[in-house]
Amino acid sequence: MERIFTFITTPVYIIFIVLELYISHRERLGLYNFKETRNSLLLGLGGLLMDVLMKGLTFFVLDGLARFSPLWDFWQQHPLAAWAGVFFAQDFCFYWLHRAEHYCRVLWAVHSTHHSAERYNLTVALRSSMFQPLYRYLFYVPAALLGFDALHIMFIYAVNQTYQFFLHTETVGRLGFLEKFMVTPSHHRVHHASNVNYLDKNMGQVLIIWDKIFGTYAEEDPNDPTYFGLTKPLPSQKFTDVAFDEWRHLAEDLSKPGLDWKDKFNYIFAPPGWSHDGSTLTSNQLRQIGEKSPMGKEVFH
């Protein structure tokens, strides 16, 4: 089922990327850069390979746990309710996966590749957090414990990721009533922006309600135009820099002299920007003091 879905969606992705390229060229929007687009596709291929390698383990863990759930028989007997339930469960679990990647430094080292493009276009959706499949399934354990089998969880994840593809664009404005409960391109532009007020906002995959409930929601403000990319730009567009620059920063922080075990623990698991001496700040700390770089970007490092 998942393979058939991929077979269908791939040509759709290509068509919409070509269409956006045409609009960008015609309107002189400058949405695309060859090196960034190349890296997005390479990261997408890397993420696809990791997905394939982890698919068996993911299925084994999630399906095994689901079969022990007291709700397993109920969902098997009520397939329509199961599809509706797994949609909400998967979307909820994705929110916490995504939020963890923004508030845990080592997970941010994985996820930062998805945020590193300074031009925001549909190929950024393919710019995967390449090593995310190594731990993603752990965040779906609660859905499995509710009795949703691995096939349902993995398929709905694929469907919802397809929805996310269409959020990565500057060519679509606000969508009225849909903004109240669904993640829209406007919401996701906020998520990818490096402006001080936009950092770590709008983590949802399809539903924006989780952000509104758990305090991570922000609207796109026409008076605060979006800057895309990381708060500290990459040293180059070499693939190694794109894929591993944040890992190098993490290693440098861990090698600082005079750190105790607690400092090292925090450098690994505290939010990005945490420092033992206050030389760098987290997004929440920066928001509190209103500090910005000359370009309107916050500086972690």
Task: Give the three-class secondary structure for 162.
Answer: helix
* C-alpha torsion sign, points 166, 122, 189, 91: positive
Q: What's the CA gap between 188 and 170, in Å, rounded?
A: 10
Q: What's the CA gap between 175 and 185, in Å, rounded?
A: 8
pLDDT score of 4: 73
Please list, residue by residue across 169-195, b when 16 or more beta carbons sit within 10 angstroms of its beta carbon and e when fewer do: bbeeeeeeeeeeebbbbbbbbbbbbbb
What residues of the chain score a pLDDT lower than 70? 1-3, 291-301
pLDDT score of 289: 83
pLDDT score of 251: 97
- Assign 3-state DSSP to the chain and report helix, strand, coil percentages, each to 5: 60, 0, 35
pLDDT score of 37: 97
